[in-house]
Amino acid sequence: MKKGLPTTIEITDYHVKLFQSKVIKGKKILTVCNISRLLHQTDESLNKSLNEVIVLKNVQISDLTLVIPRRQIILKHMLLPSHQEAELSKMIDLQLVNQIPYALEDVVYEYQVIAKEPTGYTSVSVSVLHKETANRYINILSKMGVNVNRLTISSLGLLGWLFYQDKAKAVDASESLVVVNIDSVHSEVVFSYDRKLVFSRSLNESVKDLSGGNTIGLINQIELSVGNYRKEKMGPDIKKILILSPLKEVQLLREKIEAELKIPTEIHAPFENTLCQKSINLSTLKDQSGLSLSVGFGLQLSDGLKLINLMPKEIHASQRLEQKRGQLVKFALLFSLAFILGVSVLGIDLYQKTLLVNEIEEELQKIKPKIKKAEDRIKFVNLFKDKSTERIFIPDLMLEIFDITDPEISFRSIGLNDKGKLTIQGYGETSASVNTFQSNLIQSSTFSNINLQFATKRRISGFDVTDFKITSQLSNIPGESN
């Protein structure tokens, strides 16, 4: 049984992208990169694409971050006369009433502090999402049995990409930078400095505008964005522009941007410095008609990135209520079954006794077959009760094992015989993880007589692992002594 990995799903106009990663020897390694073409912006088409990247690929999901494209988000840059969090929240409420085309109760928003000025002002960026958009994505995934833990904005994925490249010494994320992420249908411009998101814009220009050197529209939009940044005094002077694209055509775009804006400009590939498992072939992803993976890579591989969460509060409450409701339903079902079983036994017994009293003198010979039949029923019911109490409830047992399993442990097999002897075979990424798992078994009241049969170093798929076998006895097995 293998636990799900932290997961990022990015939904754009024409693609659904799923990413997973894990830490190996202190480094984040991309383990899953699934991409599906989204043919139409309908629930049916989106559900099909999500099935292709999750169900058909047999992906186990944990801690899901769903990325909303920038064009579906309203992003406001505000300068507010306070440093106090409580005052800032009230001021943002008052500002948003006049700056967004929706009622506040119809949206969910969150802000991030960019800088606290010595003058007493605070610079913030506010992300606003309509609840209908959030609920649509959440409901589609919920019907697939997948819970969304957070909704965030694609701009933060590009900021995460900067963090990751900063760690690799490819860029300096503390500088005032402009990131131009060119995707297959839309592009996005992100302004950042001091490792914080200042502002961003979604552009209708994309890969198709690079063909034949037709970059005028894209350059104009970048120039307008830079002009607005400077006019609103959102941050210090821009030190550098970074173009993210795997295509050679962006070389001409870089030259024109430097000529028009007089700002040093660099080209970076989205998958630059990315570490992947051998099962992921990045070379096939490089030839995807300019498809950008920068957002997903940034969210999965970066460290220290503070995400905004645009999940509606009622969704959080609904998820918790649904969990409690499921537990109550299970309890009520088990209680009802026990009550019906008890009443059935008493009812049969009472019926037979009354029948014997009323007919014993007149129909003694006739009643004997009925008495025998009733006794057989009682024996069957009692036998059913006895056998049901002797059963080990496998889902509860597996849940207990799952809860105490170290994330670095993977199982080959789990066996249980009729005497309550449990045999677990698998491997751990480190010997320490095997020791931790054995220690957790010992501390659990469910298991006793824990015995590590062997723990052997092996090499599997290019990784050193510790192969192990552990046996134990389930505690409190009916008919067995501990």
Q: For the segment 56-100, what is each residue's pLDDT rounded down to a tens digit? A: 999 999 899 999 999 999 999 999 999 999 999 999 999 999 999
Section 137-157 average pLDDT: 94
Q: What pLDDT score does 481 carry?
A: 43
Alpha carbon 409 to its chain's center: 20
Higher per-residue confidence, 331 vs 444: 444
Section 429-444 average pLDDT: 88
Reported for 318-321, long-range contacts at CB under 8 A and 24+ positions apart, including other chains, are 319/147
Instruction: Determine the Cα angle at 257 with ends 254 and 259, to 5°.
Output: 110
Q: Is the pTM of this model over 0.75?
A: no
Identity at 94, one-letter amino acid code = L
pLDDT above 80 (res 224): yes
Q: Which residues of 338-370 are buried (b: 16+ CB within 10 A; e: fewer)?
A: eeeeeeebeeeeeebeeeeeeeeeeeeeebeee
> How confident is residue 185, by pLDDT bands cut at 50, 70 and 90?
confident
Q: How far apart are CA 341 and CA 380, in angstroms?
A: 12
pLDDT above 50 (res 221): yes
Q: What pLDDT score does 49 carry?
A: 95
Do 179 and 166 contact (CB within 8 A), yes or no?
A: no
Residue linked to tokens 């971050």: 65
- Which strand ranges, in their side-by-side order, compose the sheet holding 150-153? 27-37, 15-24, 5-11, 61-68, 150-153
pLDDT above 70 (res 385): no
Strand 15-24 to strand 107-116: parallel, antiparallel, or no bridges (unpaired)? Answer: unpaired
Q: What pLDDT score does 1 carry?
A: 41
Section 253-280 average pLDDT: 91
Q: What pLDDT score does 96 carry?
A: 94
Percent of the chain with pLDDT over 90: 53
Average pLDDT, the chain: 86
Query: CB under 8 Å to 258, separation ≥6 — which residues?
Result: 264, 265
Most confidently modeled range among 111-115, 284-288, 352-356, 360-364: 111-115
pLDDT above 60 (res 287): no
Higher per-residue confidence, 307 vs 480: 307
Q: What pLDDT score does 208 carry?
A: 84
Most distant CA atoms of the chain, gap in Å: 115
Query: CB under 8 Å to 50, separation ≥6 — which residues?
Result: 9, 16, 36, 140, 141, 144
Instruction: Give pLDDT tens digits for 160-173.
Output: 999 999 999 999 99
Looking at residue 276, the DSSP 8-state letter turns out to be B
Of 69-83, 152-166, 449-463, 466-480, the one with minimum mean pLDDT is 466-480
Strand 240-244 to strand 177-182: parallel, antiparallel, or no bridges (unpaired)? Answer: parallel
Strand 150-153 to strand 196-203: parallel, antiparallel, or no bridges (unpaired)? Answer: unpaired
Q: What pLDDT score does 268 carry?
A: 94
Instruction: Give pLDDT tens digits for 306-363.
Output: 999 999 987 655 555 555 665 676 667 776 777 777 776 677 777 777 766 667 667 6
Q: How far apart are CA 7 and CA 65, in angstroms?
A: 6
pLDDT above 80 (res 386): no
